[in-house]
Structure 1
């Protein structure tokens, strides 16, 4: 089954509410779509979103990689050589993980459609999923109000963005904790905003406050692995790596060195489902659980991540709320409060048809 044509397009999607972290404030996302056309008329679709401050990829660089070396690597090739094509995407150029993720998911979509099975079935099974909801970084009173709103909407896990002004983070967590029931778990994401000793001091104070924190994500700079290990070794709360881990090689370094307790896998960072599987498998051998996360992305690429997460036994945590921040309705994931449901249609599927 030959790949006859590859098309790449670009669009912007506004957010209904600004998304604030220690690294940036987003009011819209850019999304680059790749469509792989097979000779039998079937298509495979993938999408990527640029996040300058994390991946270093821009919309222009993603589009250039897809239309250049990646297209050259797989155009007119036979889809039946699926694993060879996945490897060809990864070997087509250096870096460009977001572009590779889009092409990778398009191949997975096309291949599972060819087999007439949903993507999660190609990858494994379909376990139930439930997402946390993010509370953007802001002043303590605003964050507490937002947290209360999401709890009242049915979310039992909140991802709390901190780190932009570390001196406010204790007050932020305290205000949120006072505003919501004690059984709601908090997941803090510092987005590299703390220094190692500062992180230990802040986390220990939160532990003394009995803040109900499930884990803390990326407390220090991505490249500061020794600082990451220092934090992990000096607090009781579980520590998760996010920006520190892009590739399977990064995962090997981090898990073999016991730098953290948990890993956050994102398709835009690691280059797609193929590498995500390698990271999750490697972490499972070392008994390090994983979370599936996303950048601010469309529901289609988040849906591909959800299929991977639903199928892998070592992905135990889910942070897939990005589509709920967009003005357009999700088309791949059916959100029922914090619970997620995937389409049983072949490929990545479509839950709701987009409006004209």
Structure 2
């Protein structure tokens, strides 16, 4: 089963409300969609959003990587030699991890369709359904409290709260106000998006511990490259610390785990370069006895479906941050995962289960 063609589309879907973190504000989900067509009419789908502040990629750079680098390497190659395909993608360019991920997930979609299995079953089959959190953007304490209440009323029992944009005292006020309003039964996890310094992070986390705010975990409290700072925070607080932007590759994960810089790892396909490398990161973490979360950028249902299938395939992936499609005003894809409140259902369709894309969200075709 050989690869016949690789096409790219530029898509855009507005968000219901702006998504705000310590790093950026997003109002429109822009993305590059990939369509891989193989002999026999098998079609695989993938996507890559431009997340400049994390991966350094743009719409133009993603499209260039796919059309000018990956396409010539893959056309005519067979799905049966999958390791060669993924090795070619990984070795053809440094970084450019989102572009790699888009092609990687489209190839996995084709491979699973050829096998006539849902992708999560083909690559592991650890879970049949998973539960996502919902993210509370950085806003005023009153706005964040109201958002948290709304998400709980809509059936979410785990909230991921963005902090790190303002002074830490303001962050603590935000979390205290939310906890006081929602009570003790809702799980709260925090994401500082690299917004704190190591010592102030320790002071803040200890203060939240003393206040009894019952934070499940703190994600990426310090700048990505500061592994010593990350280790300092991990060693000097009781709350579990999760590495996110500090871990792009299996080598990053190995380094973080070797020095004990974090208690948990957040794997994102757009950081790892796709499912193939993400599986390796999960297996390294499993060898160290470390659990993982699977997260995402602001992606459409195509990318999140791939992330959900990867997450459901691995036994040490125990947390899921896959709420991005719920923030959008429409679905760019027909098929794929479905949501029932906080539950993500993977379905029984072969591959990712993506059938077609909605033309009304397509801005340009390459």
TM-score w.r.t. structure 1 length? 0.97
Bigger Cα displacement from structure 2, 252-261 vs 29-38: 29-38
**Corresponding residue SS for 1:81:** helix
Match for residue 115 of structure 2?
115
Structure 1 regions of 5+ residues with no counterpart?
A: none
User: Which residue, out of 234, 253, 268, partners 1:251?
Assistant: 253
Q: Tell me if structure 2 keeps the 8 A contact 1:20–1:137.
A: yes
How far apart in 2 are the matches of 1:339 and 1:180? 20
Indicate the SS of the match to 1:220. coil
Cα distance, 1:317 vs structure 2: 0.4
Q: CA deviation at 1:82?
A: 1.3
Distance change in 2, residues 1:101/1:255 (3 Å)? same
Q: How far 1:181 sits from its partner (Å)?
A: 2.2
The aligned counterpart of 2:348 is 344
The TM-score with structure 2 as length reference comes to 0.95
**Corresponding residue of 1:236:** 238
For 2:355 and 2:162, locate their aligned partners in 1 and report how far apart those are by CA, in whole Å: 30
CA contact (8 A) 1:343 1:350 kept: no
The DSSP-based 3-state class of the residue aligned with 1:146 is helix
- Please give the alpha-carbon distance, in whole angstroms, between the structure 1 residues aligned to 2:17 and 2:43: 33
User: Is it true that 1:334 corresponds to 2:338 in the alignment?
Assistant: yes
- 1:353 Cα deviation from its structure 2 partner: 8.4
Hey, what does 1:316 align to over in structure 2? 318
Indicate if the aligned counterparts of 1:145 and 1:179 stay in contact, CA closer than 8 A: no
Shift of 1:354: 5.7
SS at match of 2:233: helix
Q: Which residue of 2 aligns with 1:216?
A: 218
**How far is 1:231 from its partner?**
0.3
Distance 2:281 2:239 in 1: 23
**Pair 122,51 (structure 1): closer, same or farther in 2 beyond 3 Å:** same
Could you tell me how far apart the structure 1 residues matched to 2:155 and 2:222 are?
Answer: 31
Q: Which has the higher contact order (CA 8 A, sep 6+)?
A: 2
Alignment correspondent of 1:274? 276
Cα 1:253/1:137, change in 2 over 3 Å: same
| Counterpart-to-counterpart distance in 1, 2:358 and 2:340 | 18
| Contact 2:6 2:35 (8 Å CA) reproduced | yes
| Regions of 4+ moved over 4 Å | 351-356
| Separation (CA, whole Å) in 2 of partners of 1:352 and 1:94 | 31
Displacement of 1:351: 8.7
Structure 2: gaps spanning 5 or more residues: 361-366
In 2 relative to 1, CA 288–275 (structure 1 residues): closer, same or farther, beyond 3 Å?
A: same
**Structure 2 CA distance for aligned equivalents of residues 319 and 355 of structure 1:** 27
CA-atom RMSD in angstroms: 1.4
Instruction: After TM superposition, give the deviation of residue 312 of structure 1 in Å.
Output: 0.3
Equivalents in 1 of 2:359, 2:346: separation in Å?
19
How far has the Cα of 1:40 moved from its partner?
1.1
Which position in structure 2 is the counterpart of 1:73?
73
